[in-house]
Amino acid sequence: MATMYAFFKGDFVPLSEAKIGILTHAFNYGTAVFEGIRGYWNEDEQQLYAFKLTEHYQRLRNSCHILNINLRYSVKELCEITTELLRRSEVRSNIYIRPIAYKSGEVLGVRLHNIDDDVTIACLPFGKYVEAEAAHCKVSSWRRMDDSIAPVRAKITGIYVNSALAKTEAVLDGYDEAILLNGDGHVSEGSGENIFLVRNGVLITPARSENILEGITRDVVIQLAREVLGMSVEERAVDRSELYVADECFLTGTAAEVTVVGKIDHRQIGTGKIGPYTTRLRQAFEDVAYGRNKKYISFCTPVWPK
């Protein structure tokens, strides 16, 4: 097996050597931002495609701006570093990429100013995020973080304790995943995914104002629903009870991809299995992510030279 590398402190090092000190500010206070990026191996073309690489690093840069982290690399440089990292690690299979920009100073004190910053990128194999073919979800007792408390459109490591509490509550109660409501009682998102439902042939998803993360996979699914399936899409407030009467429901995210929801709070959604719209959207998404649909090949960054 090839040695897996990480980009750490400005250089490529074996993943096992990429270590931070216990006094690192981000480790103590959650002052870091991150991304999850998938790479898809196209066997027919013998090519690895990093999916929506530029958009992920644009979002990382936005998250850094919100958290007062000085990201010294441009989006283009981060894309180049990532493809070089994948080549050095000799990746020729599906892969998960984890960039983190963080407060790297080894200092104590709750603040964001006057602390050194750095960025690291790792890659590792990563399978299905939710193992169930049709997930059983629980509406969590934990509410989704509000943007007035912490900026939810930034992927801040510290914020994800909110998701961890909801996910663990759900799993320990016998469910596969959690769905969080916002402070107004509207549906927000899963513990690490955006949520969609289908009613009468219309695709519905909570609006950005519902304290959701502005998901990149979410945007792709909305685009494919309109352009490939010809569906109407509504971005609006969704009540908890509307989930129960949906014809179909699914979760999206880099880790989750397109994950079917079969039950919510012990109530079957539709047939309890993958529905016709979700089937077509999932297939359309996979065709794009693996570089098979050349109309959307600009979404994919090839790693290996042709």
Residue 210 DSSP one-character state: G
* Banded pLDDT at 281 (limits 50, 70, 90): very high
Domain residue limits at 65 = 5-124
pTM for the whole thing?
A: 0.96
Which domain CATH number covers 107? Answer: 3.30.470.10
Co-location of 150 and 275 in the same domain: yes
**3 state SS of 49:** strand
Co-location of 92 and 175 in the same domain: no
Co-location of 254 and 158 in the same domain: yes
CA distances from 174 to 167, 178, 187 (A): 11, 11, 21
Give the residue from 124, 154, 172 where a domain finishes. 124
Residue 141 maps to a domain: yes
When pLDDT is averaged across residues 104-112 and rounded to a whole number, the result is: 97
pLDDT at residue 128 in the model? 84
pLDDT at residue 146 in the model? 96
Active site includes 155?
yes
* Banded pLDDT at 131 (limits 50, 70, 90): confident
State which H helix or E strand residue 139 sits in: strand 135-139
Q: Which of 52, 138, 155, 167 is catalytic?
A: 155
pLDDT at residue 303 in the model? 98
Co-location of 255 and 149 in the same domain: yes
Token representation of residue 112: 């964001």
Co-location of 267 and 142 in the same domain: yes
Co-location of 145 and 241 in the same domain: yes
When pLDDT is averaged across residues 141-153 and rounded to a whole number, the result is: 96
Rounded Cα distance, 41 and 49, in Å: 6
**Listed residue (56, 154, 149, 138) closest to 97, CA to CA:** 56
Output phi, psi for 188, to 5 deg.
-110, -70
CA distances from 195 to 59, 222, 257, 267 (A): 19, 12, 11, 17
Give the residue from 59, 89, 124 where a domain finishes. 124
Token representation of residue 247: 């014809």
Residue 302 maps to a domain: no
Give the residue from 76, 105, 124 where a domain finishes. 124
pLDDT at residue 1 in the model? 57
Residue 296 maps to a domain: no
Residue 306 maps to a domain: no
Beta strand spans in 144-256 (E): 177-181, 187-190, 194-199, 202-206, 232-236, 248-253
State which H helix or E strand residue 220 sits in: helix 216-227
Co-location of 147 and 19 in the same domain: no
pLDDT at residue 38 in the model? 98
Co-location of 114 and 158 in the same domain: no
Residue 13 maps to a domain: yes
| Domain total in the chain | 2
Residue 113 maps to a domain: yes
**3 state SS of 278:** helix
Residue 17 maps to a domain: yes
pLDDT at residue 169 in the model? 98
Co-location of 120 and 169 in the same domain: no
* HSE value, Cβ hemisphere, 13 Å, CA-based, for 142: 19
Question: Residue 204 pLDDT more than 80?
Answer: yes
Q: Which residues of 60-89 are buried (b: 16+ CB within 10 A; e: fewer)?
A: bbbbbebbebebebebeebbebbbebbebb
Question: Residue 306 pLDDT more than 80?
Answer: no
Rounded Cα distance, 233 and 196, in Å: 10
Rounded Cα distance, 142 and 136, in Å: 17
Do the Cβ atoms of 31 and 109 come closer than 8 Å? Answer: no
Co-location of 18 and 84 in the same domain: yes
CA distances from 63 to 69, 107, 159, 299 (A): 8, 22, 12, 21
Co-location of 108 and 14 in the same domain: yes
What is the per-residue pLDDT across 248-277, written as a single tens digit (0 to 9) for each? Answer: 999 999 999 999 999 999 999 999 999 999
What is the per-residue pLDDT across 1-18, written as a single tens digit (0 to 9) for each? Answer: 578 999 999 999 999 999
Which domain CATH number covers 199? Answer: 3.20.10.10
Question: What value does the mean pLDDT of the chain take?
Answer: 97
Token representation of residue 243: 């989930």
